[in-house]
A and B are shown apart, each in its own frame.
Chain A
């Protein structure tokens, strides 16, 4: 079986965390990632840019709409994900709009965070 582990946190708390605490948490993440790589549990994982960078894509009557902000409805639940690579947000929106679920639900497009080389 494969399982998707979704990590939820208060962005504001994360953003105002004192530097040593932030570094400690990062170290914990690196340690954890190494650990599950060794144990064979790791398939993939990434940190995301904050929700302020999110775009919600929907297709209704064959028209693509892209709006600012994360997906915020409570009527629908997370049903799957694709990790894609695209040159820029326009391309990412184009790809996301072809996901069948975009016609009935919503697809949140969020850039992956790239950490500076340690």
Chain B
């Protein structure tokens, strides 16, 4: 094999396996930073040695044991070498056999390490923003700059969050382990929430020039698939289904010039059929379990939309029913608002408006732009133009996303002209 080909192979291996190797190195070395250095050293050693010696039979096992060796090496050469450091070095050496005798690279061990990494990055004792940043950085391998760009913050802010989280993991001794059965459902909920946040930011950017950030949604779906592979719990399956069904609408959600198109006006022939089919199969799987959770229910709602030819022929009654169940499981004003929109489609705008007004009168969602734009839309459909105008203006003031603002302003212009 030419040097060029070997390098390409190493590049590919980095993309496909570096996170797996890292997850195992964190377990073996007991420290995130040490593991990242070791990962880097191992790939550098591969670039140096493989063109000459050939690619080992099990490259991943080679990278793990080389990384471990390099870490021990670094420790022994470190300036503050003392008895304590020697103890760490000995401990690391004692866990794995020598590199000439590569460790068994059982798929189960590797999978466990990946789950350990996910659960550690999403530990509830870490700051919620840090969980998202750490997961994208460590589990997905996104550079700090990309994480920062995705969440419209500065790279130093993200870097600082990640450093703080890693320090807490080390200093407070957050264990590198998959939670026990008893803790699993609570802990998995935290993990799924992180994936959901990443997806939502990708599906509907909270601010900025574009409606969506496809790269973030793709990362979230990748994480979702990984979780379903490693831990096929009903809610993990439900979340993956939800993401796939929503993401399938992406090509229809914006016009060629980047303008927002609402669900009812979307050209459904643009929806991605293969993703929908996969999503529908997963929804059925999630709903067939005894424990139906909020993600499976939201996926079921998305599935009803996916199966309808257009907004008019959608089974709105079923959607309202699913929202009712969802609200019992997870009372939330935003879900109530979505339910009100479905009621408006099923029973007419007046019924929907009464529900939206009730939410706003309670003092909930008064600063949420979508509550005001939903209200404005219902008023418009009821022919109450001047009230609709006021509500649209309120929504414009509250929105931070450019395409959304332009959409609302187009509606305001239309109302002013009539």
Contact = CB atoms under 8 A, between A and B. Distances in A.
Same assembly: yes
B90 interface: no
Given A68-B130, A88-B173, A88-B175, A93 B125 contact: yes
Contacts of B126: 68
Interface stretch (A7-15, A17-25, A48-56): A48-56
B312 interface: no
Interface stretch (B163-171, B289-297, B327-335, B409-417): B163-171
The interface size bin for chain A is 20 to 34
B79 to A, nearest CB: 14
Nearest to B169: A89
| Residue with the highest number of chain A CB atoms closer than 10 Å, among B164, B171, B186 | B171
Interface in A64-89: 65-69, 87-89
A61 interface: no
Nearest to B127: A68
Interface residues of B, number: 21
Interface of A: 49, 52-55, 63, 65-69, 87-90, 93, 109-111, 116-117
A89 B168 CA distance: 10
A53 B171 contact: yes
Interface of B: 82-84, 124-128, 130, 164, 167-168, 171-175, 177, 179, 183, 186
Chain A at the B interface: SS class: mixed
Contact of A68 (B82, B83, B168, B186): B168
Contacts of A111: 171-173
A41 B102 CA distance: 57
| Residue with the highest number of chain A CB atoms closer than 10 Å, among B126, B130, B168, B172 | B172
Contacts of B186: 63
Nearest to A86: B173
A88 B125 contact: no
Nearest to B125: A55
A89 B130 contact: no
Given A65-B124, A68-B130, A52 B173 contact: no
